[in-house]
Chain A
Amino acid sequence: MTGAQPIAAPDLAIEIRGLQKTYYSGFFRRPSRGLESLDLEVPKGEIFGFIGPNGAGKTTTIKCLVGLQYPTAGHAFLLGQPIGSPEARRPLGFLPERPYFYQHLTAREFLDFYGQLFDIPAALRRQRTDALLARVDLERVADKPLHTYSKGMLQRAGVAQALINDPQLIILDEPMSGLDPLGRMLIRDLMLEEGRRGRTVFFSSHVLSDVQSICHRVGLIAGGRLRAIGSIDELLSEQVQHVDCTVRVPPQVPLLGEAVTSRGDERIVRLPPEQLDDLLVQVRQAGGQVVQVIPNRKTLEDLLLSELGRNDPTTPPGVSP
C-alpha cells in the first residue's frame, strides 16, 4: 500500500482502490502481475459473486482482502477498516479455497478453537458451536476427528468456522468447489440466509449457475483486471440468443439452422429466434412434428466466454454493453 491513506466510504462493505499485486519468482526474481489496478465496491447487505477463469486474480484479491497477502500498491477497506489490520478481520468470516483444517481436532473442538481466536466467551462459544453444527448438519459427527470427514463435510465445517463470530461480512473462496448437488444447495441456502439477515456475502465461484441464481451483483475478473460488473439483469440481456428446436422429420428433408444432433427421425437444430416461424412451416410441410422448443438467453457463461474472447487488456471495466 502506498501514499496517503484515503477515507473509507461508510456504506460499503468492501472498497478496493487501485489494488495491485506483483509476484516475483525464479532466480532472477522475474515479476508477474497477479492484479492490475483493481477497483471494486461492494455495498453492505449485498450478495456479490466474483467470477473469472483460473489465474484471473480472484483468489489473489481475496487473499489480499483477508490479510494473507500484502498488496504491492493500492488501498482496500473492509467495513471501513483498512485491510491488514487485525481489527478489519474482526467482523469477517472467511472460507479459503480447498480448506485445510487441523485434522486432529473434532468439529466441536475445531469451532471452539476458532471461537477463542475471536475472544468469544466460553458460554457463547458453546451456544454458537451447537447452533452452527446443527445448521451445517454435522451434529451427529461433531465429536469425531476431522480426518474422518468427507470433502463435503469438511467444506461444511469450514463454512461453520467462517460463521463462528456471527460476521457482518462473509468472504468465501470457491465455496461450491467439488461439492455434490446436496452440498451445493446447503451452502447456497446458507449464503441466502446470511444475505436475508443483512450480512454481506462476497464469494468467488466457477459454478456460474449458482452465481446467477443467488447474487445481487456480479464482477467478472480476467487477467488481473475487472472486465465487467453489474446486476445479473444489467449484465445479461433478457433477449433470446438462439432457439434449440427438437423436431421429428424424415432424414432427407433439409431444415433451416445448425444441426446439433440427430437420432433417426429426431433432430435438434439451433437457429436464431427470428427463423423459428420459417422452421415450423418447413416441418409442417414435410409432415413432421415439433417435439420441443427451448429459447436460450445469454448466461454468465456466455458473458465469461465473450469477455475472455476479447483479448484486449485495456478494455475499461464497467457494465457490459
Chain B
Amino acid sequence: MNRIWAIAKNTHREAIRDRVLYSLLFFACVMLVASLVTEEITIGDQEKIMRGTAMGAISLFSSVIAMFLGVSLVYKELERKTIYTIAAKPIPRWMFVMGKYFGLLLTLAVNLGIMALLYLVIMGLRLGMPHPSLLAFLALLFVELMLLTAWATLFSTYSGPTTASAFTLAVFVIGHLADDIWSFGQQAESPWVQRLSEFLYWALPNFEIFNVQPEATHELAIGWARVATATGYGLAYSTVVLIAAVVVFQQRDFK
C-alpha cells in the first residue's frame, strides 16, 4: 500500500504543479461566482436557478478536469518515458495503474472540495444554510468522477490523449443518454433493436444514475438507498474498468 500511496502522492503533486489545472479551477470559480448574476436576470425561483447554475458549473468543470487529467494519466508516463525508471523498480504494474488512479482521485477530491467550499460561502451568504441534499449531490458527483476517471485511465493505457479524449467523451455522453437508449429500444418495433438497446444499456455506464442535481436544486430529500445503490454501482463498474486497464497495461512493451 505504501508504494501505491507513493505513486498516488507523486501523481497528485504533478497535477497540482500543472498550470492548466489552475486555469480550469479558476474558470469553475468564476462560473460559481457568476451564478449570483442569475438572480438579477431571472424572474421567479431565483434561488433554484442560482443553485442549479452553480451545481451545473461544479459538475461540468469537475468532469472536464477529470477527463483532461485522466486521458493523459498513463500515456504521459509512456510518452515522457518516466515509466522506464518506475517499471524497473519492484512495482507490479497493477500497483502503478492504481497509484496513478488514486493520485488523480485525490486531485479531483481536492478540486471538488475547493468548489464545494466556494459554493457554501456564496450560497451561505445569499440563501442561508444549505439543504442536506447538497451532500448527496457532491458524493454522487464524486462517484461519477471515479467512474469517468476509470474509463479515461483505461483509454490512456493504450492510446494517445486525442484518441483517449474522444473515447472518454463518447463514454461520458453516451453514459448520460443511457435512459434514452433504453426508451428508444422499448419504443422500437423490431425485437433486434430492442435487444441491442438493452445490451447497450446494460453494457455501457449509466451516468444518469448519479445525477441528483434536479433534486438538490429543488432541495428535495434524496433517499440514502438511492445514494447507496448508485455508489455501489459506480464502485463495481469502476473496479471492472480498472481491471481491464491493468490487463491492457500488463501486456504492454515499453519501446
Contact for B6 among A63, A66, A92, A116, CB less than 8 A? A116
Q: Is A105 an interface residue when CB atoms closer than 8 A count as contact?
A: yes
Chain B CB within 10 A, most for which of A67, A99, A114 = A67
| With A100-B82, A119-B3 as contacts: A66 and B88 at CB distance below 8 Å | yes
Chain A CB within 10 A, most for which of B7, B88, B255 = B88
Contact in complex: A102, B91 (CB < 8 Å):
no
Tell me which of B9-17, B62-70, B124-132, B208-216 binds A. B9-17
Contact in complex: B92, A102 (CB < 8 Å):
no
CB 8 Å contact bits of B68-102 with A (1 = contact, 0 = none): 00000000000011111111111110000000000
Contact in complex: A104, B89 (CB < 8 Å):
no
* CB nearest to B16 among chain A residues: A104
Q: Is A86 an interface residue when CB atoms closer than 8 A count as contact?
A: yes
Which residues of B come within 8 Å of A, CB atoms? 2-3, 6-7, 10, 13-14, 17-18, 80-92, 253-255
Chain B nearest CB: distance from A200 CB in Å?
Answer: 16
Chain A nearest CB: distance from B72 CB in Å?
Answer: 14
Chain A nearest CB: distance from B87 CB in Å?
Answer: 6
Q: What CA separation (Å) do A119 and B14 show in the bound complex?
A: 21
| With A68-B254, A116-B2 as contacts: A96 and B84 at CB distance below 8 Å | yes
Name the 9 nearest CB pairs between A and B, nearest first.
A116-B6, A96-B84, A94-B88, A66-B88, A86-B90, A100-B81, A104-B17, A68-B254, A117-B89
- By a CB distance below 8 angstroms, the chain A residues around B85 are 94-96, 99, 101, 114, 158, 161
Interface size of A in residues (CB-CB distance below 8 Å): 30
Please give 18 more A-B residue pairs, beta carbons under 8 A apart, in addition to A70-B253, A96-B85, A161-B85.
A67-B88, A68-B84, A68-B254, A69-B255, A86-B91, A94-B84, A95-B85, A96-B81, A96-B84, A98-B81, A99-B81, A100-B82, A104-B13, A104-B14, A113-B6, A113-B10, A117-B89, A118-B90
Contact in complex: B10, A69 (CB < 8 Å):
no
Which residues between 58 and 88 of chain A lie within 8 Å of chain B, taking CB atoms? 63, 66-70, 86-87
Q: What CA separation (Å) do A63 and B7 show in the bound complex?
A: 22
Which residues of A come within 8 Å of B, CB atoms? 63, 66-70, 86-87, 89-90, 92, 94-96, 98-102, 104-105, 109, 113-114, 116-119, 158, 161
- By a CB distance below 8 angstroms, the chain B residues around A158 are 85
Q: What CA separation (Å) do A87 and B10 show in the bound complex?
A: 23
* CB nearest to A145 among chain B residues: B17
| With A100-B81, A119-B2 as contacts: A92 and B10 at CB distance below 8 Å | no
- By a CB distance below 8 angstroms, the chain B residues around A113 are 6, 10
Chain B nearest CB: distance from A96 CB in Å?
Answer: 4
Chain B nearest CB: distance from A168 CB in Å?
Answer: 13
Q: What CA separation (Å) do A68 and B82 show in the bound complex?
A: 12
- By a CB distance below 8 angstroms, the chain B residues around A70 are 253
* CB nearest to B17 among chain A residues: A104
* CB nearest to A25 among chain B residues: B255
Contact in complex: B10, A102 (CB < 8 Å):
yes
Contact for A102 among B14, B88, B90, CB less than 8 A? B14
| With A116-B6, A119-B3 as contacts: A67 and B87 at CB distance below 8 Å | yes
